Amino acid sequence: MAYPLAVLPRIKVIATVVGLFLLLASSAAGQANPFTPLPPSAPNLPSAPTTTTTSSSASSSGDGLSGTGEAIILIAGAGLLAGVAWLIVHDAHRVAPVSQRAPEAPAAPSRPDRNRTRARAKAARRQRKRNRPSR
């Protein structure tokens, strides 16, 4: 099946995105089943008093993302949103092109035409008043 040249880049992009999605999904599939029951909890044993040291840096505990990781995720999310918005706008312009000039509204009637129209309306009102049925 031969595709037009304009469609080929779009097919390549879609194939790349699907491939990356499948790659990430296969790595996620190797994780444990989240619906299995929890293991039994350990018995509560009295513990010896421990000394705690306070750390001035929250990143030393190793929990969460680093600032660089958060920035990469935010940039990737913004890029994804911008790409989707661009595709929507691009497709809308391609499918429904706007004509070169919108048709202009008809111009207001000139002064003599307006006077003639008002005179006719006034005469029609007088005629309706004259032809009213009597009560």
> Is 21 a member of any domain?
yes
The predicted pLDDT at position 121 comes to: 95
Question: SS in 3 state form for 72-87?
Answer: HHHHHHHHHHHHHHHH
Per-residue pLDDT band for 54 (boundaries 50, 70, 90) equals low
Q: How many domains in the chain?
A: 1
Residues spanned by the domain of 5: 1-27
> Is 13 a member of any domain?
yes
> Is 86 a member of any domain?
no
> Is 2 a member of any domain?
yes
Q: What is the average pLDDT across 26-30?
A: 65
> Is 41 a member of any domain?
no
Output DSSP code: residue 40: P
